[in-house]
Structure 1
Amino acid sequence: MLEEIYIAGFGGQGALSTGQLLAQAGLLEGKCVSYVPVYGVEKRGGVANCGVTISDREISSPIVTEPTVLVVMNNSSLARYQESVVPGGMIIINSSLVESPVTRSDVKVVSIRANEEAEALGNVKVANNVILGALLELTGVASIKGVEQSLKEVFPKRHHHMIPANVKALERGAELVRTHKFSRTD
């Protein structure tokens, strides 16, 4: 098993924390993991991307240049990175914020209205974990239980009261995939 995941968005959308949670869950589950964040100098609203590789064998390079999975949180990230996905790979889109269409026909596209789903759960700030739950269900790279444990390690103690809301978001994202309540192109 080898998944090279690139998560792209703007600062404040949770792209970096999503990558951290995914990498930590992989580590907790005994997998080989790399996590490389890329961010702009702006405090909020600047580039916030990361590459996460999860494998059952050693990883030769930590840099993700040809992702098997691309998660996009905004239009500019889709425009910039969709061509980098390997043929047969997957693009997961937060369609609450991404209006541009995927122009590739050789990848699976999963569009999730993550912001609306998060609002329905009572907190729009967990939209990134709705996407992460879907990614976990689609790829099997880590478990929700692993990410739940990672929340305890990645979140500062002052944010631990938010863990239940984040777990609900993870479960909702996985449920959307299981019940096919997203727009998709195979």
Structure 2
Amino acid sequence: MFKFLFLSLSLLTAQQYAYAKDDITERNYDDVIFKNTRLSSNQTEYLTIPTELAHAYGSDSTTLHHLDKDLAELVRLRIGQIDQCNYCVILHTKQTETLGISPSKVASLSTWPQSNLFSGKEKAALKYAESLSTLQHNEIQADYDQLLTLKFTSPEIEELTNVVILMDVWSRIFMAQGKISEPPMN
């Protein structure tokens, strides 16, 4: 029994180390670093569940099997814009570059309804994501129905929903933490 317990703890520690090694919520870049100006501890482990969600539905997810990865990243960036989450906007803009999404498409994301750079499916997903994120109770049903009309599958809609919810959760956590960007020290 002790051998099993030791092995379980070892695996858990290794998994936590792997997450911590490249924690998507703690990234810095050559041209920008981030720091928390308020809540910076995790004594109650309040970050455990959101971190697990980030690994499941975040930019580095290996569990998104149905929703198009480029679309998921555009949705993450758009929700970051809506939530005015500086960290989210920088991180997800950099992720769009990594994925090779057109810089013009990324630059026009905040004005997607007026842009023909987005497909009908992308526009429907963005509209649904905005309605869900901003709690537009009177619009959400029509936006959901539009996803179905455009042949989104239930698994795609479920993953899209979780991407939006995850972004909203982390935007609020980063707000509570007072996460700000600044130039790196030379």
TM over 0.5, yes or no?
no
The alignment's TM-score, normalised by the length of structure 1, stands at: 0.30
Structure with the bigger percentage of helix: 2
- Rg larger for: 2
Structure with the bigger percentage of strand: 1
